[in-house]
Structure 1
Amino acid sequence: METKEKQFTSKDFHQTFARPTFVMPEKLIHKNVEQAGEHNQFSTERKHPVFFIDLPSKNVSMTVGGLLPDQLTNRHRHTYETMLYVIEGHGYTEIEDTKVEWKAGDAVYIPSWAWHRHKNLSNTENAKYLACENAPQLQNLGVALREEEGRDI
């Protein structure tokens, strides 16, 4: 006889059949992220250096992004949220029609599906930031989407 699992509705949010389990991943550390090398395809597409932090998270990604002196990235948008922490340099991020100026030590929030781009205001020094995104979570759900102005539209 086939057993049928209960179908949940919104009133059942507190119920679940799932039981958490611990699974030790093979990798817990990614040493010397920047020395491991740029992500060439993504860096070329975005036109600035990008270093992926290669850890087994299924929900959150981290990258180290760099902006070369006086660099302005392409406008793009995606269905995942982004939080940037500026490690060095100063510049701005355009989010839709709003310009948010930043410097080392600042954090910037980019909402999902907002057109945005980044600009390094120094013509001699690089800017560097850490980007945290919920892209893997949305990819695993099949709803991650990214559009780049000039490539996709």
Structure 2
Amino acid sequence: MERERVKDLEAIESSVYEQTVRYYQKWSDRQKTGKLLIHGEERDFQASRQGFVKFYLSPLLTDTAVSSWAVFEQLIKRQSGRHNHQGGIIIYVLEGEGLTETNGEVLEWQAGDLLLLPIQPGGCTHQHWNKDPAKGCRWVAFRDMLVAPYIANTIDQVSDTPDLRGAATTLSGGVRRKDWKARVTGEQAPLITHPDELAGANLFDRLLALRDIQRARQAQATWMIRGDELPWETNAHGKMQWFLHPCIAYSAVQTNTFYRQEIPAGSRSGLQRHGGDAVFYILEGDGYTEIDGVRHIWKAGDVMTLPSLATGVIYRHVNTGETPVRLIAMERNLVHTVGVDRHSGFEELQSCPEYRQAKAS
């Protein structure tokens, strides 16, 4: 009898349910103990067929708290390799000027611009060129690794970068997109707001109608956002430019929110309760991010992350230098499904000094 009871206990421990419990516990422990701040000098550029790439975050890097993003820099001397993968990736240009050819269209970009590779049948076959090889150019890219399996993302290398091996190639002479300010349809599929409205409604047809609206919007959407042409807003959290937002419909990628923030010397952002799983790349300046009372000191070229905790996190950025801090921030856009509050609530607990001054004047 005792032997059978021991066997039952062993069976329980090896059950899929118990393994699932341990899986989530291990993930939760990683959020609490993993590295939140990744200094730029901790990661090296590695040679690859696509070019010289430095990964800050990746599911293959297990020392970080956040594992659901791939965040990497690429250095382009002359031109990258050419490869195909599904879209949904966003690229922020850190320095230099260049061109990107994707699926027969050519985008010209410069430092401060955001490139968007759309999610579409067949993915995006693309390659990047540096306009001035004497200076070089560099950008940082963000890939949502939770969305990647959902869109069946794979990477197929078409040709190698001539910066390492392979022959240099030229632009194919595709259509050049010059005006990034696209206007898209604001049409929406009607919502069912009460169960009684289901009678007589054909929801499958509405799904097809929604598909057609999304196709039309994607055909009109912009693949690049010019950072130097975006307005700045001062809100409770700070001075920001919004590149991607749940209320912005004209961008070819809708799976992320993305903004650039500037914090004056000696100042700080607002104090915010947040669900976590956000990524900040420090563009300029020195300071720290305070998360639940703990300071994480950073400088330009570092990546700061927020862990995903059941209670959320309370954080703010502080500029300790004599020049403005500039950073870019990126997180997943699920506000229309999971909600802005998510699991922890979303609140600005204390406004930044500049916003309080503006409200008082």
Q: TM > 0.5 between the two?
A: yes
TM-score using structure 1 length? 0.71
Query: Partner amino acid for 1:37?
Result: P
Counterpart amino acid of residue 121 in structure 1: T
Gaps of 5+ in 2: 1-149, 153-210, 245-250, 352-361
What amino acid is aligned across from residue 348 of structure 2 in structure 1? Answer: E
Q: 5+ unaligned residues in a row in structure 1: which ranges?
A: 1-17
For residue 73 of structure 1, the aligned residue among 269, 290, 293 is 269
2:347: which partner in 1? 147
Query: Residue 90 in 1 paired to residue 286 in 2?
Result: yes
Question: How far 1:103 moved relative to its partner?
Answer: 0.4
Corresponding residue for residue 330 of structure 2: 132
Give 1:62's aligned amino acid.
Answer: F
Q: 2:321 aligns with which of 122, 129, 134?
A: 122
Q: What is the 5 A alignment of 1:105-116?
A: 105-112=301-308, 113-116=312-315
Once the two structures are superposed, what CA deviation does each residue of 1:121-144 show, in whole Å capped at 9, x if it has no partner? 113x1111110111x21x121422
On the 8 A contact 1:85/1:131 being kept in 2, the answer is: yes
- Separation in structure 1 between the aligned mates of residue 269 and residue 349 of structure 2, nearest angstrom: 10
CA-CA distance at 1:62 after TM superposition: 1.1
- Hey, which of these two has a bigger chunk of helix by percent? 2
What is the RMSD computed on CA atoms of the aligned residues? 2.9
Which region of structure 1 is more displaced relative to structure 2, 76-85 or 60-69?
Answer: 76-85
What percentage of residue pairs aligned between the two structures are identical?
19
Query: Rg bigger for which structure?
Result: 2
TM-score, normalisation: structure 2: 0.32
Q: Is the 8 A contact 2:274 2:347 kept in 1?
A: yes
Q: Report 1:18-33 matches (<5 A).
A: 23=215, 25=218, 26-33=220-227
CA pair 150-68 structure 1, distance change in 2 beyond 3 A: closer
SS of the aligned residue for 1:149 comes to strand
The 3 A distance-change label for structure 1 pair 28 and 89 is same
For residues 16-56 of structure 1, the C-alpha deviation after alignment (integer angstroms, 9 at most, x for no partner) is: xx999994712233432243211x3xx2222x210111434
Would the alpha carbon gap of residues 63 and 96 (structure 1) be closer, same or farther in structure 2, given more than 3 Å must change? same
CA distance in 2, matches of 1:129, 1:19: 29
Letter paired with 2:315: H
Matches within 5 A, 1:50-69: 50-54=240-244, 55-69=251-265
- Secondary structure of residue in 2 paired with 1:144: coil
